[in-house]
Amino acid sequence: AQSVTQPDIHITVSEGASLELRCNYSYGATPYLFWYVQSPGQGLQLLLKYFSGDTLVQGIKGFEAEFKRSQSSFNLRKPSVHWSDAAEYFCAVGADTGNQFYFGTGTSLTVIP
C-alpha cells in the first residue's frame, strides 16, 4: 500500500540554524515525490518535486531535498532558516499518471528568534 510517513510532528529551530525535515514513503512503483508548504489559513504551495535524474533537487525559497531510494526517503533541507519559514510542511508521493497523490500528516515548523 502507498503511504508517506513524516516522523516529526513538530520541530522548533532557531533562526539561522539549519533544517532537515524527514519523509519516508512506501510506494509500489517509481515514486514521484513532492514537498509542499502551508502557511496558516492558506492552501498548499509546491516547494519542489522529484521525478527522475539528479537525486538532489532544488526548490523555491532556498529549500532542497534528496531522494534516497535505498532508504525510501525524501528529506527536505535548508541551510539557514528564516522566521518566515514557520509553517506546516507536507511530503507527498504519487504515480506518473498524476491521478492521485498520498500526503504525509505534516510537520509543523516553529522558528524562534
Partner 1 sequence: NAGVTQTPKFRILKIGQSMTLQCTQDMNHNYMYWYRQDPGMGLKLIYYSVGAGITDKGEVPNGYNVSRSTTEDFPLRLELAAPSQTSVYFCASSYYYGYTFGSGTRLTVV
Binding site for partner 1 (CB under 8 A): 4, 9, 32, 34, 36, 41-46, 49, 51, 90, 94, 96, 98-101, 103-106
Name the residue nearer to partner 1 (CB basis): 40 or 113. Answer: 40
Q: C-alpha distances in angstroms, 113 versus 12, 72, 84?
A: 11, 33, 11
Q: Residue 51 Cβ, how far from partner 1 at the closest point, in Å?
A: 7
What is the rounded distance in angstroms from the CA atom of residue 16 to the CA atom of residue 85? 11
Name the residue nearer to partner 1 (CB basis): 18 or 42. Answer: 42
Q: C-alpha distances in angstroms, 106 versus 15, 43, 54, 70?
A: 21, 13, 25, 23
Q: Residue 17 Cβ, how far from partner 1 at the closest point, in Å?
A: 25
Q: Say if residues 51 and 66 touch (Cβ distance below 8 Å).
A: no
Q: Residue 82 Cβ, how far from partner 1 at the closest point, in Å?
A: 22
Q: Which three cell numbers stand for residue 99?
A: 491521478
Name the residue nearer to partner 1 (CB basis): 4 or 111. Answer: 4
Name the residue nearer to partner 1 (CB basis): 39 or 80. Answer: 39
